[in-house]
């Protein structure tokens, strides 16, 4: 059992390096502070693991072809493309805002979408968690193949925990990369718009590549 968990943990690490996952995290984390960036990566990983668990439990007893499971990739690609379109729309309509102010002796830079500034963490939490849930559908096929390779083919919460731990390790590490980028490059509105434009274009390319693959 220990060897199986190590294999699944390693699969989680490899799975997390998928360009669709890193692109989704970047889309949500650009311009966020440390607390929100870490919250996004953790909730994304938890949502992703939970989604895989639910889908795998649903499918493990059914004889479903890999062609049908490929529809999970369609869901992931559609989510990524939608995010890309959304980001490019926000840039094009000048709805990305930046404000710098001093609070308790420290300079803070706030970046937000829309006309009014708010600090609603609930929106960020629900969005990143939901994104993780939706994109989990794209990993079901690989998860079932891995379970077959380690022998049991039965999904339990311990396996999903090992997978989620592997995913979380990479996501948090990537979150620190995004955080460094936020702190050192997003000091002006022009740089912010360039960053979101690049994120939107990359999202479209990654999503389209998944569909064509």
CB 88, CB 205: distance < 8 Å: no
Query: Average pLDDT of each block of 10 consecutive residues along the chain (213 residues)?
Result: 78 84 85 84 85 71 58 78 90 80 61 59 66 68 56 67 88 92 84 90 90 78
pLDDT score at 208: 92
pLDDT score at 192: 86
Spell out the domain ranges in the chain: 2-212
Q: What is the pTM of this model?
A: 0.77
120-175 pLDDT, tens digit each: 555 566 677 777 777 766 666 565 555 555 545 566 778 778 888 988 999 999 99
End-to-end CA distance of the chain: 34
User: Taking CA 41 as the corner, what is the angle to CA 152 and CA 119, rounded to the nearest 5 degrees?
Assistant: 145
> Residues near 50 by Cβ (< 8 Å), separated by ≥ 6?
132, 133, 136, 160
- How far is residue 22's CA from residue 81's CA, in Å, rounded to a whole number? 14
């Amino acid at each position: 059992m220990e060897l199986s968990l190590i294999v699944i943990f390693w699969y989680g690490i490899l799975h997390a390096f998928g360009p669709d996952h890193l692109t989704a995290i970047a889309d949500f984390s650009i311009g966020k502070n440390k607390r929100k960036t870490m919250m996004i990566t953790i909730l994304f990983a938890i949502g992703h693991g939970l989604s895989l668990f639910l889908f795998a439990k649903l499918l493990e007893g059914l004889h479903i072809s890999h062609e049908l499971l490929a529809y999970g990739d369609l869901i992931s690609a559609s989510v990524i493309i939608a995010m890309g379109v959304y980001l490019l729309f926000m840039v094009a309509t000048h709805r990305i805002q930046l404000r710098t102010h001093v609070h308790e002796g420290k300079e803070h830079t706030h970046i937000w979408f829309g006309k009014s500034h708010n600090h609603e963490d609930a929106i960020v939490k629900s969005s990143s968690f939901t994104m993780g849930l939706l994109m989990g559908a794209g990993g079901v096929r690989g998860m079932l193949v891995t379970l077959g390779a380690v022998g049991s083919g039965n999904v339990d919460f311990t396996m999903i925990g090992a997978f989620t731990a592997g995913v979380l390790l990479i996501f948090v590490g990537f979150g620190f990369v995004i955080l460094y980028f936020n702190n050192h490059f997003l000091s002006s509105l022009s740089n912010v718009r360039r960053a979101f434009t690049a994120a939107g274009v990359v999202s479209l390319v990654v999503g389209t590549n998944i569909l064509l693959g």
